[in-house]
Structure 1
């Protein structure tokens, strides 16, 4: 059962997803909730640098400046990357810098302690991995001063739960940041999302649907509206859909629930399926009452390669990118040849060139690399 303060933090996270200026308040609340002294929330995206951000609480500017030093970044990576190597997205790492202070002068540990940990007066850290791929990285971490206890497994569980919501918020942020910078009307922003978006009001009625959702309603057999403008799905999914919307609206006063969640809808007879992410939505000042936001995608929607990244990093030519696009959608080399109207031998040459440029040694390795550079919405 979640505490009242944890539910408060969850609500604040979704508010901040739509209004990034609120992240400072979120960090302050999480620091208080976890008995910490400082916190940092940072994300880097090589494909879209304007997405990059760093939010901190109680970390002195001089400490942040020291951390930006290239030597310190390398030390940090060398010392702490192994902790993340075997971690999946959403996993946590608990660590302490206290032993670094007694290491020999000149060692990586001692330098990191002197330049980062000591000026910030922190010794213990609990962090959750939010995003990691070939081109992006995001992490949320809280820290405790030397005189406080190290983080416990229970602290790690709390951070892991909050991490789910922060990951969702990060996705919303990435969808909205460019248009928000233009200070567009909130509905104009949602109209430009490249995935389906629905807003549901406190009466469970559809309040808004963008163009993509309207098209989904026209052709889909698993999601519709009833006569009262409530979302309607197949009988086997209806109760769960209602529960998730209710939790996203914070309708349940018992607090014994998580806020929102994901739901897959499918109709085997019609070969139709959708994925829904159902989340709280209360960040827009013009919206007078709390709403739930639902992101809708087709499970068979195409993967979109980050072509610019592949061109810049691996110098792939246009035809090589075309081969990669077809390959990632499951076509065999013979089918790719037929689709591109070229010979099988030509496809083999393209694949050989792609292997050389990407340093892949097999089709499996190439598929893994390409899956790391696709642009899509992940339901968390």
Structure 2
């Protein structure tokens, strides 16, 4: 591999000493942004088939959720720089000012109505490497004051790409091996419902027998390259993006993301994600993500009255717990009970306090251990 220029050599040192943590990657991206005078930059590993992300770090000006939704729904197919790198050899940056003549970038609808309104006057991107369906993309942009990309700058950024590739692959390998210890296997085996533990990059590092049986019997779920996948395109995106969203939320970088942290697998079951953390030296340390399945198939019939008697739950709190055990999401419960999602969430949190649980997955596991109890159902509760 070609060595970076002297002024970029310190970036190589950072890549070789990332300590395999997302926080270190975020620091590197911030330094990278300042060093190359960028407005914002993104580093992601994304599926060319589903657009799901396996890895994502960013620095600089964030894109609002509204603009990101517009981009994915309308403009992703018209992003000239992205189209350029998709049809070009990997390992090279392409900039708007260099491809304008062949792509007519500055007069396009994408530039005039999406990029420019956000202050993105210039852009440059590269595909660092491909591996199967996965592509490592680095996207950067500048405002008008920061100016166009020079050929020298693009070549210097090209030189760093092989080292970025090596660092990302090392990060994935270390994340997989460091978390496949006996403690993780013991943890998932404490659950009565199907549970698997994933790294923040989506690799499986432990799963219980119930989850193995679920994957074997489900027509859409499968394991490939030590990651959980689905033949359903929407579910595939959720399985890839869920761990990333959880990790960002735990680190205070995400927004309210209920939609990305659970989805209906079929008519009878729902898959959901839950962060796995531990307290160390007074700080919350992110370990990974639990993905679990909820259905009456794995939780015996639970009575509203039983829940009220055992845990002193109110009728409304017991109803929320029961519907969760049936595989309903908070939004689905709110719709059926004709309440706001916030009201349902408050009732769930009160149920946590009364049952001694600290998460939905622990509450579902508790309910899976309750003995069978049957009585006539009561009506909708307020």
Under TM normalisation by the shorter chain, which class is it?
A: 0.3 to 0.5
**Larger relative contact order, structure 1 or 2 (CA cutoff 8 Å, min sep 6):** 1
Q: TM-score, normalised by structure 2?
A: 0.40
